[in-house]
Structures are given as structure tokens and as C-alpha cells.
Amino acid sequence: MEELFTISVYTENNPGLLNRIATIFLKRHINIESLNVSRSEIENVHRFTIVARMKELAVKKLVGQIEKQIEVIKAYYHTDDEIIFHETALYKMASSLLFEQREIQNVIKNSSANIVTVDPEFFVIEKTGRRKDTEELYDQLEPYGIMQFVRSGRISVSKTEMNISSLLDKLK
Amino acid sequence: MRSLLREGADLAYGYPGGAIMPIYDELYKYQDKLQHVLTRHEQGAIHAAQGFARVSGKVGVCLATSGPGATNLITGIADAQIDSTPLVCITGQVASHLLGTDAFQETDVISISAPVTKWNIQVTRSEDIPAAIAKAFYIAKSGRPGPVLIDITKDAQLGDLDYSYDKCTSVRSYKPVPETNIEQVKAAAELINSAKKPFIVFGQGVILGEAEAEFKAFIEKAGIPSAWTVLGLSALPTEHYLNVGMVGMHGHYGPNKLTNECDVLIAVGMRFDDRVTGSLNTYAKQAKVVHFEIDPAEVDKNVKADVAVLGDSKDTLGKILPFINENKHDAWHNEFKKHWETEVEAVIDPQLNPTKEGLTMGEVINQVNKETHGDAIIVSDVGQHQMFTVRYADFTKTRSNVTSGGLGTMGFALPAAIGAKMGAPEREVVAYIGDGGYQMTCQELGTILQTGVAVKIVVLNNEYLGMVRQWQQLFFDKRYASTTMVNPDFIKLAEAYDIQAQKVSKREDLAGAVKEMIASDKSYFLEVMIEKEDNVFPMVPTGACVSEVRLS
């Protein structure tokens, strides 16, 4: 059965690595649902967070191929109940709505979203949460006309330890 | 240049061009220390580097310019990646200020080569060159070997630097050899000792790990029949009493049949390629599987291992020996013998002692065996003749079988034979090539002419792309679409390059021609006209079960 997996990859900082990792998915015809790259808790170590849907046997092999890359320190895969995860969405709306459609203020308040900026022309709502939370807000705002919408890739931390520091000590 | 010399490289293959001219200018200054072999095409250069690496165990080095020079290397890089051959490829690149401008002969070779290299890097500053070369050699050679590519911009080639060179001995994020768990070694030994019908399939991991002696000691003590994959060939002498032949699509009858009867299957340094296993759903399902492997990603990739022994084959095979009980398995051996006799009667004897008029590939190879006594390095191209070669050529020494296994690159053999001869100049090198593959890289006759390298070229000419034709005959109702070849006069072609040449069409001329070829201390070209519609058997059709191996 196919499931959603979150793959966390700890890597050296190398510009070619994104390409190499993406190719591993492409070669197997697996669609990347979201991808995020950031620094990690360790200096000079980067962290890829990749979400994709496949069977567990497939993700096991995929992680093996990712770990084979020279500049990958370690890769893990987790199911949703093994991690704490979030996505962030931004919604750009017309400022006039705040005055003409006052109930929109309640929508924002009830969804515990934040208004990050207000401009004479537009304002921007930011909502962090799970996919269904940002989707729900989208559905509520849609009737008012969303000028722009964007959602980030998933970021996540695992409930269990990933032990990268001790791994790096051993490798040294 | 000094960096290359520090890595022990004294030979490089390549082809110059605009963006790599500064490096070639340095080569000119160092030509007494580092020999550069000018091939006739970059693909020739990389296959030569592969041939060199495969027989010598050293890292093969090749050079090419940017753009088309670099892209012409890609086939060889992909070949080296899938066959785990250590290479360092150095490509020139346009000057760094021109990167991304679609400059003349600019290609994004880093992106193009990423999926087929073990590692690659672009260097844009002179001071980074020595460290990149050091890292490249270390990565290419260590662990499971593979090709690496260094792309150096022209300005970086021209810059001055305070030169210092430190050999690379580790990379933080890279663990070439996984740790061996001694408990797994013991568990493997227990399974092997308890087996009634154990069967070993060994691959190139035995050769790459330089574990031939340890492997032999292990199988002799345990008394286990051992079969090889195409790339494992020559790790164990042909005549060894435990050598039962080849597994896979055109492997021997017994090893394929009995894969599905053994109780413990022991895989050593092999990766269960689809050409070895046929249908995975019916592959050795009755057996417990023990997998000796250096690359953790290969374990459970195609065939689930009951016990996986990770590590370097020399080390793991050495470690398991004390835990192995002495055994003979005579009854089990007899089953292999019975199947062997069936195959001799149905396939091998008609191939080696044909009663029909036309010559067979097998009898040509057998004739060469008689002259070389199995001591030669045998290079083969891709197709029917390749399968005949690995089935019928004799081997007494390791690192003697050079062929394109995983990628199946036609055109590989001629340049690879040039590299092989340079990697082992004291040995005889015989290249078997089909009439199709020969014409893919026969421009490298020019390299033979210029260097004087003495390779023996045997073109087995059936005027067809034989392997494809065989499939068309068996699976496409003999519709021979684009497989008939109208060939040039190969003798004139060889003579144009000042290579002594002979053509054989009749059986009675074969022995004398082969004798003359092997006796020659120069390069020699022998064309043998082969029975046109001969097929390679046994055969496991694609997707079939290995035990359904066909004899005709």
C-alpha cells in the first residue's frame, strides 16, 4: 500500500546535491510532493525534508540510494505519526475586503491565522499548520477572492532521535 | 599535473580542445612522466581508460574538452558507473565568467553526468584543483569503485597557485566500507554449514575486493558449487573443480536450473541483476539467501537476504573461513554434472564441434583457447559474440575478462582492448567483436597505429546484428527489421591502418590463422565469417523463470 513518507536527509553543503537527490526520485518515477532545504541543528550541515507517496519497500530502497551519495551524511524516512510537521501558507487578499466584508475578520480570528502585513491595496494572511488547516482556510477565503496563494514545503522534526552529531563524531 | 602524478597516474587517455588546452600545455611539459594517449574520439578515450582500470585495478584517467568532448564521455561514464569501474575524468569548461551564457562549447556537464557518476565537482579556482583531484581519486577507488568527473574552468586551469598536495584519506559524509557485524558472519556460517544443497553465485565484488584467494579458500573448505555472473568471470579459474559455469540469461543449464533447487543461495559481491535472476517472483524462492556485499543499498534491492554480511569481500570471506565446516556435497555436485552433460550434448558439443558447414563463434573462441592456454586477457563487445565469449573462453588468471556488462555498450571492446593492453603490457590481449559493434568505434584503429599497441582483434562476422536478430527470430516471427548489415572490406580497413589482417571463411583455415595471430608480437586483425543465423543457447527469455532455461 502506498503511504505518505517524510524523508529527512542530512547533507554537506553542496550545490549539486539537490540535483542528485531529485534525480533519484525522477529515475523511479516518484513525484516529490514537497521539498524543503534548510540548515540543521549542526553547523554546516544541511537538511532536506522531502515528502513523497510510495510503498514502504520503495522508500527503503530510495533512502539507500540517497545515502549512497557521497555528500549525504544520513537519510531517514518517517510516517506522519512519527513526526511533528507543519506547512506554512500565505494568502494575499484585497485590503478593501477588511472594510466591505467584515465577516472576513472573524474567519481570520477563528482560524488562528496571522495578518503579517497590511498595505493600502492588499493584506497578507499567514497560516501555519497541517495541510487540512491551510486548505480549510483557503476554502473559507476563496469566495472573497484570493489574489495570490502559496504554500511552503513540509518541515518536520522526528519524535525519535536522529543522532547526527554522534554519527559525525564517528566519521571524523 | 603534479597532482595526477602524486596519485600514481602515469597514463591518461584523451582528446584535446579549446577549453582544456592549458592542461594539455602542461602535459607537454610532463610528457616524460605522464604518457597521454590520443584516441580518435572521446568515447574511445574513456573505454580505453575503463579497459586499463579493469585489468590493472588502478584508476583510469581520461581527459576531454568542454561541450561535445564532455558529452562524448557520458556513455563510458554510465558504463563505468554500472560496472563499478574506478575512473577520474577531467573535462575542460568555459571560463567561469562565461558560465551560464551559452558560450561556445559550453555544456552543463555537472548536471548531465550527475546520475551516472559516483561523485562530480566543478572547479572554478586554481587553488581548489589539488584538493579536488585528491578527493576524486579517493572516491573513485575506495569502497565500491566508480567514475568521478572534475570539470575545470579554463581560467582555473590558467591561474597560479601555491602548490601543495595532500592525499585524501577520508570524506566526512562518506563511508566507503560498511562495518562488518561478526554476528552476521556467524549467522551466515551457520546457514552455510547446515545446508544440504548450497550454491554460490559470485560477481565482480570478488575481483574488486582482491579476494580471489579468500574466495577460493572459502568454497574449497565448504565444498560448494560456484557459478559466476558475467562480471565475476575469471575470479575463479575455468578449470577449478567447483566452477560450475555462468548464471543468467545465457548462463549454463545446471546453474540456472539448480538455482531453484538449492537450499542456501550464497551471493558474493553481486547485485542480482535482472539478466541474472529472470523473474524475481520465481527466483530461488525455496532458498535461504546469504548476501556478501560492500554496498548496503544492494542488500534487499532485488532479492531479500536472510543474512546480509556487509563489508569488503576480502575481509568478510577471510572472517567467515574459521566458522565454516569442511564439506563435500558429492550428491549435490552430481546434479550439476548431470545437467552439464545434458548441456554438452544439446548445446556445447554442436557449438564446438559443428557438423554443419558454417563456422561457429564457439569454435573460433575454442581455437584461440588452445593457442593462449587460457592465459590471455579476453575483451568482448556486446551481443551474441559476447555471450559466446564468456561461455567458451578459458581463464586461468583473474582480471582477465573485460566486457561491458551492466550497460551493454556496443563499441566498447576495441578501445577497451587498447587500454587493457596498456594496463597489462606483458599479457596477450584478444578482443572478440561483432561486425556491428566493431563499426561503432573502429576509428580507434588509428590509436593502435599511432601507439603501436599490440592487440589481437577478432571480428566474428555474421553480417547481422546477431543478438537482436536472434530475438526477432524467437519473439518477432523472424521480422529482421534493420538487423542485416552491409559491411565494408574489413581487411582493407585494417590494412589502411598498417595492421596485419587475415580473413577466414573455411574451417580448415581457422587453426593456422589463429596460430599466426597469437604468434605475432604486433597488433593483428582476424575476420572470421560465421554461420549467419546461429543462436546463443541456453537462454532464459526475458521475464521467465531461471529454471525454465531453454536449450533450443
> For the domain bounded by A86-151, which CATH number is listed?
3.30.70.1150
pLDDT confidence of residue A167: 78
Is B104 a residue of the active site?
yes
Query: Which pTM value belongs to this model?
Result: 0.96
Q: Is B115 close to A27, i.e. CB distance below 8 A?
A: yes
> Among residues B387, B467, B517, B539, which one is catalytic?
B467
Is B357 a residue of the active site?
no
Best of A24, A68, A73, A77 to substitute, by most chain B Cβ atoms within 10 angstroms, is A68
Which chain B residues contact residue A23 at CB under 8 A?
A: 114-115
pLDDT confidence band for A172 (50 / 70 / 90): low
Calculate the CA dihedral of residues B214, B220, B224, B228 and round it to 10 degrees: 50
Sheet of B456-461, strand order: B401-403, B377-380, B429-434, B456-461, B524-529, B500-504
Q: Is A172 close to B172, i.e. CB distance below 8 A?
A: yes
Q: Which helix (H) or strand (E) holds B377?
A: strand B377-380
**Residues facing residue B293 across a β-bridge:** B310
| Residues of chain B under the 50 pLDDT cut | none
Note the pLDDT tens digit of each residue in A43-83.
Answer: 999 999 999 999 999 999 999 999 999 999 999 999 999 99
Nearest Cα residue in chain B from A67 = B297
> For the domain bounded by A3-78, which CATH number is listed?
3.30.70.260
Which domains does chain B carry? 2-158 (3.40.50.970), 182-336 (3.40.50.1220), 353-529 (3.40.50.970)
As a whole number of angstroms, the distance between CA B269 and CA A35 comes to: 35
pLDDT confidence of residue B469: 97
pLDDT confidence of residue A89: 97
pLDDT confidence of residue B480: 96
Instruction: Flag whether residue B301 sits within 8 Å of chain A, measured between CB atoms.
Output: yes
Percentage of chain B lying above the pLDDT 70 cut: 100
Note the pLDDT tens digit of each residue in A2-34.
Answer: 999 999 999 998 888 999 999 999 999 999 999
Q: Looking at the partner chain, which of A12, A61, A168 has a beta carbon nearest the beta carbon of B301?
A: A61
Burial of B192 by CB count in 10 Å (0-12 exposed, 13-18 middle, 19+ buried)?
buried
pLDDT confidence of residue B8: 80
pLDDT confidence of residue A125: 97
Where do the CATH 3.30.70.260 domains begin and end in chain A?
3-78
pLDDT confidence of residue B156: 95
| Cell numbers given for B291 | 548476501
pLDDT confidence of residue A166: 81
* Amino acid in position B132: A
pLDDT confidence of residue B452: 97
Q: Is A64 close to B297, i.e. CB distance below 8 A?
A: yes
As a whole number of angstroms, the distance between CA A51 and CA A153 comes to: 8
pLDDT confidence of residue A171: 66
Which chain B residues contact residue A60 at CB under 8 A?
A: 300
Where do the CATH 3.30.70.1150 domains begin and end in chain A?
86-151
Q: Looking at the partner chain, which of B115, B122, B296 has a beta carbon nearest the beta carbon of A64?
A: B296
Instruction: Flag whether residue A131 sits within 8 Å of chain B, measured between CB atoms.
Output: no
- The interface predicted TM-score (ipTM) is 0.91
As a whole number of angstroms, the distance between CA A25 and CA A61 comes to: 11
- Please enumerate in sequence order all residues whose Cβ is within 8 A of that of B355, keeping only pairs 6 or more positions apart, or say none: none
